[in-house]
Amino acid sequence: AVQMTQSPSSLSASVGDRVTITCRASEGIRNDLGWYQQKPGRAPKLLIYDTFNLQSGVPSKFSGSGSGTDFSLTISGLQPEDFATYYCLQYYDYPLTFGGGTRLEIK
């Protein structure tokens, strides 16, 4: 199975900051990578698909980049509602595998 290593596992930032979360795949996954945001008690919400495509309704403050094995999610101009846990997911090969998650906290 493709292993997804996500870093950092936690991150403290302030309102207005720009942060970047990374995921590294254990083998090449083309661009078959998505990013989710999960808030406490809620289901994950898809933000980015195919590495850099913004899901409908998601603000452009979220952006994705990368290819092959290294990927990143950048969030610009952090607002209070952005503090949540973020997960990457590869869907290049079965089984689909998630990164371990990044908990984004308010500094």
Partner 1 sequence: QVQVQESGPGLVKPSQTLTLTCSVSGASISSGSYYWSWIRQPAGKGLEWIGRIYTSGSTNYNPSLKSRVSFSMDASKNQFSLQLTSVTAADTAMYYCARSSCNDGVCSVLPVDWGRGTLVTVSS
Contact residues toward partner 1 (CB under 8 A) are 1, 32, 34, 36, 42-46, 49-50, 53, 55, 87, 89, 91, 94-101
- For residue 45, the minimal CB distance to partner 1 (Å) is 8
- For residue 32, the minimal CB distance to partner 1 (Å) is 7
Q: Given strand 19-25, what is the order of strands in its sheet?
A: 4-7, 19-25, 70-75, 62-67
DSSP 8-30: -SEEEE-TT--EEEEEEESS--T
Count of alpha carbons within 13 angstroms of residue 44, beta-carbon side: 15
Q: Which is nearer to partner 1, 75 or 88 (CB)?
A: 88
Q: Which is nearer to partner 1, 24 or 45 (CB)?
A: 45
